[in-house]
């Protein structure tokens, strides 16, 4: 029970919506905010210790080397008097050296702890970002994935995550340190000379002002740069994934030109952006130089006039140097906020995307029941015409149904709706299984019980055995994500049985490594027919009560097709089988055949009944049989 509650709580957390960038950033920082805070405390300690060194040097020059009265806090003077006063320091200058060394060593330890804790915190932060993004993407509907390119999604989860990581670890966490440095530096400088402090402080609002100006200039440019980088990643990803097609059609030069064109545009865009950034950095350098010049000139004049001592002048210059870095950093932080803000927006697009959700009272009914399509109409977003129009038919439990039709007739769309990959719009009909509306059935339960093999199956970069056994090794959605336990012997037995039905055993046995043969990315080392048969075995091992073969025998020869169909009839008894095909020989023995055209069912019946109707099915049959006879005649010659 606790396990189920934990699973439900996790789902509630997964459905969280974010109000904006800050809300999303706070969510990602959970689990690392304490470590970040501790690292910032050590950073503040480093800033304070850095401020002590110029003070010690000033005291040494003015009071130890010269003979001026010590300008120190009362508590420090009391402690110094107890230790022997300034005379003791003149006799033992090593004490001053030891104090400087002690402060420097303490600062080094604090700096190390700041860096270490900051890195630990940022890696936890990045891990949480990646985990949540990956989990979120897994829960997004199929329609969302169809509308967003894989290259752009990958770019958001890598480049944008890295941009946010750099901002948080190098800019955001240093804000406290910068604030502490500015406050301490100005305070120590004010103790020396107010007029010089006022002059140096004038540059702080100036730097912030021009940084905000450039921030507005580059915000839109960074968003455009990220978009163009996503396009470049998409081109590379498509080319690498489809390398066999590119090579087969001799399109290497075309793909190279396409990549270089986008890369040239992306590079040119960044060059234009760098002009703005360079102007920003140069402006900062000019302001820094002017601040150095003003402070040194004023300090030299005041020192000559006797308004400040030599030690105070040295200390003031040191404090000014320490002030310049945090002020410049503050300007950089403001400028970098543009990049980080755009990256957060791009991640916000993913994290706020509407997830695929089941009704609160989602059901898990028996799936080995009659399937009914009742007046179903459906259109893809942006399409002018509907892919399906008023479709009504039934599939008796345990029957074999064939679906025939040309490209774009709506055959695959029927199955996508049956798999709940797309929701049926309200008022556009419904699908029922055993009388239960599909919309009320849990999505994971539907896909666990309805197996589907596509015409172009996707195989992972694993062995043949691992690809077939994916469903055996995965979690069971029916038990709150509990893993299925399979021993090695049972696993191999199930794999071989499914591979036998898919007519894959002889092929695998010819490989030197057998079922341990590594298939490469997307199964690139296998032929089209071998990939299809592997995917069929992958689905058969699940023993689903409903099995869909979406033109999944198109890449095998007629003889292999016949053997697989015979094995399927033998080994899938009791299961509801849906065969989608262009080849009539694949579906001619089905209990019922549907003929589709332009999203409608034109004809239905058995093979014999459809031949007698002399409609579209008969025309396709005559054409395919005539073509078959021509091929056979050619072979005999």
pLDDT in tens, 97-110: 888 888 889 989 99
Q: Are 465 and 513 in contact (CB under 8 A)?
A: no
pLDDT reported for residue 432: 94
Q: Which helix (H) or strand (E) holds 571?
A: helix 558-571
pLDDT reported for residue 74: 65
Measured in whole angstroms, the distance separating CA 153 from the mean position of its chain's CA atoms is 6
CATH superfamily name and code, 371-636? P-loop containing nucleotide triphosphate hydrolases (3.40.50.300)
Q: Which residue has the higher pLDDT, 486 or 330?
A: 330
Q: Show me where the domains of the chain are located.
A: 19-351, 371-636
Q: Is residue 160 pLDDT above 80, yes or no?
A: yes
Alpha helices (runs of H) in 306-384, residue ranges in sequence order: 310-351
% of the chain exceeding 70 in pLDDT: 84
Alpha helices (runs of H) in 29-93, residue ranges in sequence order: 33-59, 74-82, 85-91
pLDDT reported for residue 406: 82
Cα–Cα distance for residue pair 30/8, rounded to 1 Å: 20
**Region 556-565 average pLDDT:** 75
% of the chain exceeding 90 in pLDDT: 16
Q: Are 396 and 369 in contact (CB under 8 A)?
A: no
**Region 239-265 average pLDDT:** 78
pLDDT reported for residue 105: 92
- The mean pLDDT of the chain is 80
- What confidence category does residue 630 fall into, taking pLDDT thresholds of 50, 70 and 90? very low
Return the CATH number of the domain spanning residue range 19-351. Answer: 1.20.1560.10
Radius of gyration for the alpha carbons in the chain, expressed in angstroms and rounded = 36
pLDDT reported for residue 627: 57
pLDDT reported for residue 636: 39
pLDDT reported for residue 69: 65
Measured in whole angstroms, the distance separating CA 514 from the mean position of its chain's CA atoms is 35
With H, G, I as helix, E, B as strand and everything else as coil, classify residue 586. helix
pLDDT, one tens digit per residue, over 506-536 is 888 888 888 888 887 666 677 777 888 888 8
Q: Are 386 and 428 in contact (CB under 8 A)?
A: no
pLDDT reported for residue 573: 78
pLDDT reported for residue 335: 64
Q: Is the dihedral of CA 178, 179, 184, 185 positive or negative?
A: positive
pLDDT, one tens digit per residue, over 467-478 is 888 877 554 444
Cα–Cα distance for residue pair 355/140, rounded to 1 Å: 5
Q: Is residue 72 pLDDT above 70, yes or no?
A: no
Lowest pLDDT segment from 2-6, 92-96, 167-171, 368-372: 2-6
The number of CA neighbours under 13 Å toward the Cβ of 19 is 3
Crossing angle for the helix pair 252-305 and 203-241, to the nearest 10 degrees: 160
Cα–Cα distance for residue pair 196/190, rounded to 1 Å: 8
pLDDT, one tens digit per residue, over 220-235 is 677 677 777 777 877 8
Q: Name every residue whose Cβ is closer than 8 Å to that of residue 115 and which is 6 or more positions away in sequence.
A: 39
Q: Are 165 and 125 in contact (CB under 8 A)?
A: yes
Cα–Cα distance for residue pair 569/551, rounded to 1 Å: 17
- What confidence category does residue 484 fall into, taking pLDDT thresholds of 50, 70 and 90? very low
pLDDT reported for residue 7: 37
- What confidence category does residue 634 fall into, taking pLDDT thresholds of 50, 70 and 90? very low
Distances (CA, A) of 393 to 430, 452, 583, 598: 11, 20, 22, 16
Of residues 347, 367, 400, 321, the one with CA closest to residue 168: 347
Q: Which helix (H) or strand (E) holds 528?
A: helix 528-540
Q: Is residue 25 pLDDT above 50, yes or no?
A: yes
Give the count of beta carbons closer than 10 Å to the beta carbon of residue 321. 15
Instruction: Report the predicted TM-score, pTM, of the whole model to 2 decimal places.
Output: 0.70
Q: Name every residue whose Cβ is closer than 8 Å to that of residue 311 and which is 6 or more positions away in sequence.
A: 57, 58, 59, 60, 61, 62, 63, 66
pLDDT reported for residue 534: 84
With H, G, I as helix, E, B as strand and everything else as coil, classify residue 236. helix
- What confidence category does residue 331 fall into, taking pLDDT thresholds of 50, 70 and 90? low
pLDDT, one tens digit per residue, over 183-222 is 777 877 787 778 888 887 777 777 777 777 776 666 667 7
With H, G, I as helix, E, B as strand and everything else as coil, classify residue 402. strand
DSSP string, 8-36: HHHHHHHT---SSHHHHHHHHTTTTHHHH
Q: Name every residue whose Cβ is closer than 8 Å to that of residue 241 and which is 6 or more positions away in sequence.
A: 521, 522
Give the count of beta carbons closer than 10 Å to the beta carbon of residue 599. 22
């Amino acid at each position: 029970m606790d396990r189920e509650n934990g699973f439900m709580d996790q789902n509630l957390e997964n459905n969280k919506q974010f109000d904006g960038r800050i809300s999303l950033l706070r969510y990602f920082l959970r689990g690392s905010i304490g470590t970040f805070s501790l690292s910032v405390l050590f950073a503040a300690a480093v800033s304070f210790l850095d401020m002590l060194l110029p003070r010690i040097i000033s005291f040494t020059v003015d009071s130890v080397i010269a003979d001026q009265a010590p300008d120190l806090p009362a508590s420090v003077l009391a402690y110094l008097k107890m230790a022997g006063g300034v005379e003791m320091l003149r006799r033992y200058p090593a004490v001053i050296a030891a104090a400087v060394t002690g402060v420097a060593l303490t600062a080094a330890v604090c700096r190390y702890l700041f860096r270490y804790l900051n890195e630990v915190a940022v890696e936890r932060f990045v891990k949480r970002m990646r985990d949540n993004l990956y989990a979120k993407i897994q829960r997004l509907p199929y329609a969302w994935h169809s509308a967003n390119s894989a290259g752009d999604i990958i770019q958001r989860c890598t480049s944008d995550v890295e941009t946010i990581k750099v901002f948080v670890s190098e800019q955001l966490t240093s804000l406290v340190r910068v604030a502490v440095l500015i406050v301490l530096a100005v305070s120590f400088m004010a103790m020396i000379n107010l007029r010089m402090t006022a002059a140096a402080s004038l540059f702080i609002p100036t730097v912030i002002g021009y940084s905000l100006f450039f921030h507005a200039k580059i915000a839109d440019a960074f968003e455009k740069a990220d978009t163009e980088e996503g396009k470049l990643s998409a081109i590379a990803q498509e080319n690498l994934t489809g390398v066999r097609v590119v090579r087969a059609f001799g399109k290497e030069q075309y793909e190279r030109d396409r990549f270089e064109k986008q890369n040239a545009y992306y590079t040119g865009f960044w060059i234009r952006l760098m002009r703005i950034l360079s102007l920003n950095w140069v402006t900062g350098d000019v302001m820094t130089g002017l601040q150095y010049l003003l402070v040194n000139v004023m300090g030299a004049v005041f020192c000559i006039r006797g308004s400040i001592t030599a030690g105070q002048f040295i200390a003031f210059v040191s404090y000014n140097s320490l002030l310049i870095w945090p002020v410049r950093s503050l300007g950089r932080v403001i400028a970098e906020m543009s990049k980080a803000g755009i990256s957060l927006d791009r991640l916000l697009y993913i994290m706020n995307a509407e997830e695929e959700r089941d009704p609160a009272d989602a059901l898990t009914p028996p799936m080995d029941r009659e399937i009914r399509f009742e007046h179903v109409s459906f259109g893809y977003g942006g399409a002018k015409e509907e892919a399906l129009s008023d479709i009504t038919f039934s599939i008796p439990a345990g029957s074999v149904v064939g679906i025939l039709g040309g490209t774009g007739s709506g055959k695959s769309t029927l199955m996508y709706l049956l798999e709940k990959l797309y929701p049926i719009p309200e008022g556009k009909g419904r699908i029922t299984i055993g009388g239960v509306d599909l919309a009320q059935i849990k999505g994971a339960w539907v896909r666990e019980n309805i197996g589907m093999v596509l015409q172009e199956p996707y195989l992972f970069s694993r062995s043949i055995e691992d690809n077939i056994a994916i469903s055996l090794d995965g979690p069971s959605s029916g038990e709150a994500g509990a893993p299925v336990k399979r021993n090695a012997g049972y696993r191999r037995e199930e794999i071989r049985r499914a591979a036998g039905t898919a007519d894959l055993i002889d092929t695998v046995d010819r490989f030197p490594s057998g079922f341990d043969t590594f298939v490469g990315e997307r199964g690139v080392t296998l032929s089209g027919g071998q990939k299809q048969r592997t995917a069929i075995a992958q689905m058969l091992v699940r023993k689903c009560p409903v099995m869909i073969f979406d033109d999944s025998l198109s890449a095998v020869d007629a003889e292999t097709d016949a053997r697989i169909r015979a094995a399927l009839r033998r080994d899938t008894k009791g299961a509801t089988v849906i065969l989608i095909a262009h080849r009539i020989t694949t579906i001619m023995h089905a209990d019922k055949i549907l003929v589709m055209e332009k999203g409608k069912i034109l004809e239905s019946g058995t093979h014999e009944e459809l031949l007698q109707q002399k409609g579209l099915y008969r025309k396709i049959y005559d054409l395919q049989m005539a073509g078959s006879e021509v091929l056979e005649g050619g072979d005999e010659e």
